[in-house]
Structure 1
Amino acid sequence: MTYLAYGLAIALDLLVLFVGLRFLFVPRAAAAGYGVPATERAFLTVKGLRDGSYGLLGLALLAFVGARAGAWFMLVVALNPLGDTVVVLRNGGTKAVAYGIHFATAVLVLVSAALLFAVS
């Protein structure tokens, strides 16, 4: 179970880092994938920096502190995709994107937290 817990957490951290980099380098395409149109490049850059730093922080916690710190991090960071679900729903995005991408991501992050707590 330790391999699964760390593997899922690392995969999620790398995915968030990828999303952050995508918002920095191809912001319009990343915004379209997010589920709502975005017109302000500054906003897209901020989102990219936020997601990228969360991905790096999650990896650093797993590498240098351990599963328990990673679990707490995942538990707290699950608020981001939950918030993203609300943002998409309130701003004309589709329910498929809101629930299929953002809410599903939040659930997966919470599963990751539970696995990390279980092995810590």
Structure 2
Amino acid sequence: MKIKNEMADWGLRSASYWMTLFIAVGIIIVGVRFILFPRVGAAGFGIPLSNNADLAFGRIKGIRDIFSGLALLPLLFFRMKKATAFVFTAAIIVPVTDCFLVYLNNGPDPSQLVPGITAVFMAITSFLLFMNTQKTIA
């Protein structure tokens, strides 16, 4: 079965594995920060909350971020490189959109650097994930 071969070829010795794990754990930490300290998280994001009614929006972003990280962990644990590559690549839309939204809200601002750099890092990681991915034929 190709899954077993793929598992043997990708894992702890792969840069793309660790890069993906870094993003997954990092976004979980960001999500926890948004849930526990929504004002701090939102200010760091670049769009501060304006009143107490906005706290729920910070927590909504936190849940989204935690889910994004957790969705990758089983794929990494089972060393499913191809599935990880597709899910991770689709997830690039999140930091790209975040960067764009911060720009629309603030204009050019240093707070755009984090989602912008994250998007570039994820694009590089996606490229590495798709490199040498074995083609499976049913």
Q: Give the TM-score taking structure 1 as reference length.
A: 0.91
Find the aligned partners of 1:93 and 1:102 in 2 and give their Cα distance: 14
Higher helix proportion (structure 1 or 2) = 1
Find the aligned partners of 1:94 and 1:28 in 2 and give their Cα distance: 21
Larger mean CA deviation between 88-97 and 27-36 belongs to: 88-97
1:1-120 to structure 2, matched below 5 A, reads 2-39=13-50, 40-64=54-78, 66-92=80-106, 94-98=108-112, 100-120=113-133
Find the aligned partners of 1:104 and 1:70 in 2 and give their Cα distance: 20
Unmatched segments (≥5 aa) in structure 2: 1-9, 134-138
Unmatched segments (≥5 aa) in structure 1: none
Larger mean CA deviation between 83-92 and 64-73 belongs to: 64-73
Give 1:101's aligned amino acid.
V
Find the aligned partners of 2:95 and 2:124 in 1 and give their Cα distance: 14
> What RMSD over aligned residues (CA atoms) do the two structures have, in Å?
1.6
Give 2:124's aligned amino acid.
V
Q: Map Cα deviations across residues 14-50 of structure 1 (whole Å, 9 max, x no partner).
A: 0011111110111111111101112301111110000
Query: Which structure is larger by alpha-carbon Rg, 1 or 2?
Result: 2
Report how many residues are paired. Answer: 119
Find the aligned partners of 2:27 and 2:98 in 1 and give their Cα distance: 13
Q: Is the 8 A contact 1:13 1:58 kept in 2?
A: yes
Higher relative contact order (CA 8 A, sep 6+): 1
Tell me the percent identity: 31
> 1:89 Cα shift?
0.7
